Amino acid sequence: MKLSTKSIYGLRAMLHLALSQKEGVVMSRGIAESANLPETYLEQLMLALRKAGLLTALRGSRGGYMLARPAESISLAQIVEALEGAIKIVNCADVPNCCNAQVCALQEVFAEVNKALYTAFDGVTLAELADRQREKDADAAPMYYI
């Protein structure tokens, strides 16, 4: 399975909001610039994430976005599902001329892979992802010695 640009951009935007959670409301322009995302496309993603109950939007000159609930309670699976739908590599019912699912060994394998993929995304919270990013940023920071 290859994640679409929609999911990757959405995850990056949500990561930015998690990292900026103490600041409160973050303008979409700030998210777009920081995460290097096209602002018009970002607005579409934010709408889907807001409809899923993951974001809160505030209007006005000081408006923007913030997480609707703590980052600890938002999994990566919830973000991807809000943007893409169910996390699956394949759904046999969607494949034309697919075999009889009741006697197909491939369907069992697909179901196992789908479950493992969902479990992997569901096992990481937005807060954990933000912590990982902070560690990466700290490791990349230059050290000055005198």
Count other C-beta atoms under 10 Å from residue 101's C-beta: 13
Measured in whole angstroms, the distance separating CA 94 from the mean position of its chain's CA atoms is: 24
User: Which domain does 63 fall in, by range?
Assistant: 5-140
Residue 145 lies in a domain: no
pLDDT digits (tens, 9 = 90+) for 71-89: 999 999 999 999 999 888 8
CA-nearest of 69, 110, 77 to 10 is 77
Count other C-beta atoms under 10 Å from residue 112's C-beta: 10
Q: Which CATH number goes with the domain that contains 69?
A: 1.10.10.10
Q: How far apart are the C-alpha atoms of 132 and 107, rounded to whole Å?
A: 35
pLDDT digits (tens, 9 = 90+) for 43-67: 999 999 999 999 999 888 778 999 9
